[in-house]
C-alpha cells in the first residue's frame, strides 16, 4: 500500500538570538526563573528579510535540495502557521511564488502548535488518493510579531523559525501509518490571539486587548500533558504497539517540564526523545519540523525506525502521528 514518505527535511532560523539575559533587560524576570520553569535559554527573533514566508521559503529550498526535486514538480504546498505577515494571500501562496512552484496549489492551515502534524496528516491523506503527488509541508512562525513584549507571562516562551518536509508516495513499508488528531474548541480561551482590531465598529470585540498571544499557563500545562498522553496511548493501542516500539519521539517543543512529565507518564527514556527547546523556545507550528530536520541531520533516525510525533496547542488542538522512517 502506498504511504506518504518524508523524502527530505529543511529548516531556517532567524539570525538574531535573544537570550534569557537579554529578557532580563526587557521585563522583570531572571535566567533562573525562565530556565527552571521552561528549559528555554535562547530564542530566535526575525529581523529584516526574515518574514514568515521568507523563513518558510528558505526551509523549503533546503528540503528540496536534499531530494533533488525541483519546485515545478511540486503539486501542493501546505503551510501551517498562525503568524502570516498578511491575512490574504496565504503564506503558502508567497512560498509558491518565491520558489517558482508554478504547478502547485497552495494554502495555509491554522491549528496553532499542532499545525504541522495536522498538515502532515493531510498530506498523507492526499497521497492515499493520488500517490504520484509531491507535497511540501511547512510549519513557519514569526510569533515575535504577535507577542506583548511587556507581558513576562508569555514573551519569554516563544521564538521564530520554519521547518519543511517534502512528502511523496512509496510502497516500501516506510511512511505515515497512523494518526490521532483531536480538538476541543470549548477551551479556546486558555490560549488565544486576537485579530487586528475590526474596521467594522459593529464587529469590534468589546474586550479587545491587542493582537497578542494570551494564555492561562497553568491550565495549558495540565491539558498539554494529559492530552498528549491520551493521544499517544490511543494511537499506539490502535496499532498494536507499545512505547518500547518507538525508536524516536519528536514532541512539540513547548516547555521542558511538559516534556519530562509526558515522558515519565509514557515511560519512554530520555535518549529516545528529541529535545532542542533550550535554543529556540516554542516556535509553535515550526517546532516539530525544525526538530525533525535537526534529528535527521544528526543521524538520529535510521531507515525503518518508528518515529512518533506528538503535539498540543491553541484551539485547543492536539494529536500524534506515527511514521516508519
Ligand atoms: N519571570 C518571572 N516571573 C514570572 C514570569 C517570568 N517570565 N512569568 C510569570 N511569572 C510569575 C507570575 O506572574 C506568577 O507570579 P504571581 O504568583 O505573583 O502571580 C508566578 O510567576 C507563577 O509562578 P509559577 O506558578 O511557579 O509558574 P509555573 O510553574 O506555572 O510556570 C509557566 C509558568 C512557565 C507559564 C507554565 O505554566 C507553563 O509552562 N505553562 C505552559 C505554557 C506553554 O507552554 N504555553 C505555550 C503554548 S501551548 C503549547 O505550546 C503546549
Alpha carbon of 37 to ligand 1 centroid (Å): 7
For residues 284 and 43, what is the distance between their CA atoms, to the nearest angstrom? 12
Q: Are 165 and 62 in contact (CB under 8 A)?
A: no
**Residue in 218, 231, 283 with CA at minimum distance from that of residue 257:** 218
Rounded to the nearest angstrom, the gap between the alpha carbon of residue 175 and the centroid of all alpha carbons in its chain is: 19
pLDDT surpasses 90 at 272: yes
**161 - beta bridge partners?**
141
- Closest ligand 1 atom number to CA of residue 257: 39
What's the pLDDT at 210? 85
Q: What does 213-225 look like in DSSP terms, one character per residue?
A: EEE-HHHHHHHHH
pLDDT digits 0-9 by tens, 6-15: 999 999 999 9
User: Are 289 and 165 contacting, i.e. CB atoms less than 8 angstroms apart?
Assistant: yes
Pocket test for ligand 1, best of 221, 252, 257 (most atoms within 8 A of CB): 221
The residues assigned a catalytic role are 113, 252, 282
User: What residue ranges in 111-153 does DSSP mark as E strands?
Assistant: 134-141
Residue 205 — very low, low, confident or very high, per pLDDT cuts 50/70/90? confident
**Atom 47, ligand 1: residue with shortest CA distance:** 313
Q: What is the mean pLDDT of residues 273-300?
A: 97
Confidence at residue 106, expressed as pLDDT on a 0 to 100 scale: 98
- The C-alpha atoms of residue 166 and residue 95 are separated, in whole angstroms, by 14
Tell me what pLDDT residue 316 has. 98
Residue 91: is the preceding peptide bond cis (ω within 30°)?
no
Of all protein residues, whose CA lies closest to atom 7 belonging to ligand 1? 152
Ligand 1 centre distance from Cα of residue 217 (Å): 6
What is the reported pLDDT for 114?
Answer: 98
Can you read off the three cell numbers belonging to residue 234?
A: 490511543
Average pLDDT over residues 263-273: 97
CA of 45 to the centre of ligand 1 (A): 21
State yes or no: pLDDT of 196 exceeds 90: no
CA separation for the pair 137, 134 (Å, rounded): 10
- Tell whether ligand 1 has an atom less than 6 A from the beta carbon of residue 217: yes
User: Per DSSP, what are the bridge partners of residue 320?
Assistant: 180, 310
Give the residue, by CA position, lying nearest to ligand 1 atom 13: 153
Query: If you measure from the C-alpha of residue 9 to the centroid of ligand 1, how many angstroms do you get, rounded to a whole number?
Result: 33
Distance of CA 252 to the CA centre of its chain: 7
- Whether the pLDDT of residue 228 is over 90: the answer is yes
- Confidence category of residue 202, pLDDT binned at 50, 70, 90: confident
pLDDT tens readout for residues 121-170: 999 999 999 999 999 999 999 999 999 999 999 999 999 999 999 999 99
- Report the C-alpha gap between 248 and 301 in whole angstroms: 7
**Would you mind telling me the total number of residues written for the chain in this entry?**
325
Give yes or no for a contact between 52 and 87, defined as CB atoms under 8 angstroms apart. no
Question: What whole-number percentage of the chain has pLDDT above 70?
Answer: 100
Please state, in angstroms and rounded to a whole number, the distance separating the CA atoms of residues 97 and 57.
Answer: 10
Per-residue pLDDT at 204: 84
**CA distance readout (Å), 253 to 15, 145, 193, 208:** 20, 19, 19, 29
Atom of ligand 1 nearest to the CA of 152: 7
What cell was used for 237? 493501542
Mean pLDDT of the residues in the chain: 96
pLDDT in tens, 56-100: 999 999 999 999 999 999 999 999 999 999 999 999 999 999 999
Percent of the chain with pLDDT over 90: 94
> What CA–CA distances, in Å, run from 72 to 67, 68, 77, 134?
13, 12, 11, 10
Give the pLDDT confidence score for residue 201 in this predicted structure: 85
Residue 224 CA: nearest ligand 1 atom is 51
pLDDT tens readout for residues 18-60: 999 999 999 999 999 999 999 999 999 999 999 999 999 999 9
Q: Is the CB of 162 under 6 A from ligand 1?
A: no
Distance CA(178)–CA(234), nearest Å, equals 11
Name the residue of 22, 37, 38, 228 whose CB sits within 8 Å of the most ligand 1 atoms, as the mutation to test its pocket.
37
| Mean pLDDT of all residues in 175-197 | 95
Amino acid at each position: 500500500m502506498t504511504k506518504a514518505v518524508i523524502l527530505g527535511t529543511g529548516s531556517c532560523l532567524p539570525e538574531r538570538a535573544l537570550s534569557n539575559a537579554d529578557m532580563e533587560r526587557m521585563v522583570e524576570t531572571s535566567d533562573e526563573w525562565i530556565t527552571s520553569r521552561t528549559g528555554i535559554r535562547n530564542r530566535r527573533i526575525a529581523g529584516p528579510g526574515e518574514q514568515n514566508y521568507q523563513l518558510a521559503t528558505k526551509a523549503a529550498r533546503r528540503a528540496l535540495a536534499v531530494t533533488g526535486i525541483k519546485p515545478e514538480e511540486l503539486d501542493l504546498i501546505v503551510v501551517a502557521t498562525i503568524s502570516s505577515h498578511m491575512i490574504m494571500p496565504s503564506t503558502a501562496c508567497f512560498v509558491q511564488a518565491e520558489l517558482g512552484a508554478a504547478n502547485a496549489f497552495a494554502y495555509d492551515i491554522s491549528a496553532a502548535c499542532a499545525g504541522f502534524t495536522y498538515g502532515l496528516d493531510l498530506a498523507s491523506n492526499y497521497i492515499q488518493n493520488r500517490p504520484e503527488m509531491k507535497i511540501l509541508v511547512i510549519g513557519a512562525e514569526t510569533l515575535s510579531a504577535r507577542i506583548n513584549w511587556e507581558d513576562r507571562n508569555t514573551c519569554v516562551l516563544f521564538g521564530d523559525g520554519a521547518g519543511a518536509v517534502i512528502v511523496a508516495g512509496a510502497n516500501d513499508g516506510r511512511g505515515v501509518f497512523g494518526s490521532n488528531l483531536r480538538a476541543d474548541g470549548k477551551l479556546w480561551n486558555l490560549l488565544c490571539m486576537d485579530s487586528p482590531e475590526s474596521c467594522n465598529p459593529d464587529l469590534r470585540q468589546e474586550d479587545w486587548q491587542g493582537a497578542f498571544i494570551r494564555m492561562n499557563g497553568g491550565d495549558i500545562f495540565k491539558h498539554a500533558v494529559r492530552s498528549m498522553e491520551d493521544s499517544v496511548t490511543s494511537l499506539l493501542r490502535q496499532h498494536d504497539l507499545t512505547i518500547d516500539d518507538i525508536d524516536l519521539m519528536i514532541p512539540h517543543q513547548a516547555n521542558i517540564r511538559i516534556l519530562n512529565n509526558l515522558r515519565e507518564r509514557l515511560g519512554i527514556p530520555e535518549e529516545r526523545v528529541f529535545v532542542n527547546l533550550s535554543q529556540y523556545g516554542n516556535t509553535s507550528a515550526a517546532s516539530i519540523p525544525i526538530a525533525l530536520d535537526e534529528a535527521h541531520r544528526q543521524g538520529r533516525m535510521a531507515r525503518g525506525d518508528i518515529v512518533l510525533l506528538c503535539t498540543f496547542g491553541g484551539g485547543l488542538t492536539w494529536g500524534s502521528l506515527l511514521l516508519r522512517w
